[in-house]
Structure 1
Amino acid sequence: MSDPLSADQFIAALRAEGVTVVEVGDWRNHNRNHKGAWGPVNGVVIHHTASSGTRDTVDYCYDGDEELPGPLCHGVIDKEGTVHLVGNGRTNHAGKGDAAVLDAVIQESALPRATVQNTDGNVRFYGFECINEGDGKDPWPAAQLEAIERVSAAVCRAHGWGSGSVIGHKEWSIEKIDPVGFGMDGMRKRIAKRLGSGPSPCNEPFPGSEFFRAAPRSAVIAAMGRRLVEEGCSAYLDGPGPRWTDADRQSYAKWQRKLGFSGSDADGWPGKASWDALRVPTS
């Protein structure tokens, strides 16, 4: 059981896991918190949503309709594996489900079959809608399945959960069939394998805040600077080089602002979430 991630923490976690993210409208403040609680949170629910295309699906999941106002999830995963963020907070995605299933998610134990609908899942779960007709014929491209794996692992990693915290909507509710076309047991195995390592075993682990404040001279600093340049966050007049300088701090502050951080969270001193999202190659 955890407090929900802030918008900054959420998007940083996704990017740290290598997820391609598109921010839609005012997603950071778009929620149903005025209708009920959001959190403590316990897991992730995967859905499919029949659609007539990415744009229409994203718009619908953002706005909803008169009977079911949006947002209808936290993110929409398209066929190319891009995740469109449409909500932050309580969203209309899980609905009522079985308290025994929630118990199993919390314990990360074997899931019982849902038989009743006595618990509000919108309080407890992050939700991702995946674009698919749900007819068993519409294909699930590899990029889309990988994105499901990555977003699930990202949220689990941020909260310290295992793959048992990820379920399909059909495992939560007796009224739902989604997702159709792939098995959740297999997806949980993929997520578990990903969680067995860091966001990328080829990336430099976060060296700690004090490392930078000591003005180090290190190949890690040069590698970081090159990544900042690649991300369009350069304040360098020359370089970057191996010695930590004010130009590094200014460049890193640009990166933090690009991730959506502000104020003291965008002061140019690296933190773990922003560092993981930068994906600095091992030096």
Structure 2
Amino acid sequence: MDMDLVSRSGWGARAFRTPAGATPYGRARLGVKVHYLGTAYSDRPHDGCPGYVRSLQAQHMDGNGWSDIAYSFVVCTHGTVYEGRGLERRNAANGNTSLNDAHYAVCALLGASGLTEPPDAQLHGMRDAIEHCRGEGPAGDEIARHADGFATACPGPALTSWVRAGAPRPSGGGSGGSGGSTTHTVRAGETLSGIATAYPGVTWQQIAQANRIPAPYTIHPGQRLTIPAQRSAPVSHEPFPGASFFRVGTDSPIITRMGRRLVEEGCSHYRVGPGPRWSEADRRSYAAWQRKLGFTGADADGIPGRTSWDRLRVPRG
């Protein structure tokens, strides 16, 4: 799935202490609880985020005496998701053993002071982490606050409002009519040409011109782009059904329509079809689409993610 996920080794995590740090979940997870830091936080360039996650782990292990960083996943303001205790090991962030066992814990690098409003890229990353927990954990559909079931101000006013609204992805990622301009926050792996596919009627050259981006047209994660007014309203397309939908045995006309779009995009690895049942040919074709958008490695594994799906624009049935 095309999410920007950094493994523990990728951000330089210390080894967790045993036996407590190795405790597995004892029950099915009902969903995810959302957290923030609760202290002052200042935003930083993206290359400083792994170091902050390391300092957070050190605070939890050396200052609090815990066996590891408390959270299942941590999300920076640039939309990158850092693996904490991950999907298998019980978190230590929700308040007590029972609460920890019931939900994953996803923390935004967001403060009670300093930076208190999550950027769009961070909300996308939070949603990526939630969907990852649902699809791979697995976790149920609940999205709750740390404060739900435990006396705390966490996750603060901004994320409380977001959770109560259903934890939606920010608007503007391909939505909007033909009126005024909108904004787009660049995510890891995106290119101007890829971004333009999410905004019908707008070319990548127009986006570059609107933002005064010179050749070689370099953009970076977290950068906010002005998207010029679209010349036509977007067509209604199939909403992302979630990564867990795309598994062996899934049989749906959505997959047929997806395959037809992949053929139109020149990403076909089909010998026969496409058909309604998810297959290896579908996965290989979708991986070609992810690579066309600029994704690499695990982000081009052929399992649809929200960003690539929204850009493919699979028509509704």
State the TM-score, normalized to the length of structure 2.
Answer: 0.49
State how far apart, in whole Å, the 2-side matches of 1:204 and 1:227 are: 21
1:20 and 2:4 correspond = yes
Cα distance in 1, alignment partners of residues 111 and 250 from structure 2: 50
What corresponds to 1:90 in structure 2?
Answer: 89
What secondary structure sits across from 1:120 in the alignment? helix
Identity %: 14
RMSD after superposition: 4.9
- Counterparts of residues 235-274 of structure 1 (less than 5 Å): 243=272, 248=281, 251=284, 258-259=297-298, 274=303
Question: Who is 1:105 aligned against?
Answer: none
1:43 aligns with 2:42: no
Whole-Å separation in 2 of the counterparts to 1:227 and 1:24: 35
Q: 1:138 aligns with which of 90, 94, 116?
A: 116
C-alpha contact (below 8 Å) 1:43/1:166 kept by paired residues: yes
**CA contact under 8 A between 1:136 and 1:180: conserved in structure 2?**
no
Residue aligning to 1:201: 238
Structure 2 counterpart of 1:5: none
2:113 alignment partner AA: D
- What corresponds to 1:168 in structure 2? 145
| Greater RCO (Cα-Cα under 8 Å, separation 6 or more) | 1
In the comparison of the two structures, how many residue pairs are matched? Answer: 214
Name the counterpart of 1:126: 104
Structure 2: where are the runs of 5+ without partners? 171-236, 275-279, 291-295
Task: Report the TM-score when normalising by structure 1.
Answer: 0.53
Q: Secondary structure at the match of 1:38?
A: coil
Paired residue for 1:190, among 166, 186, 199? 166
1:180 CA drift (Å): 1.6
Which amino acid is the alignment partner of residue 129 of structure 1? C
Question: What is the one-letter code of the residue matched to 1:56?
Answer: G
CA, structure 1 residues 132+219, in 2 after alignment: closer, same or farther (shift >3 Å)? closer
| Structure 1 pair 167–190 and aligned structure 2 pair: CA distance change class (3 A) | closer
- 1:210–1:69: structure 2 CA closer, same or farther, 3 Å change rule? closer
Alignment partner of 2:105: what SS?
strand
User: Following TM superposition, by how much is the alpha carbon of 1:39 offset from its aligned partner in structure 2, in angstroms?
Assistant: 3.3
Structure 1's 38 and 250: CA in aligned 2 closer, same or farther, altered over 3 A?
closer
Letter in 1 for 2:51: D
Query: 1:203 and 1:193, CA in 2 relative to 1: closer, same or farther beyond 3 A?
Result: closer
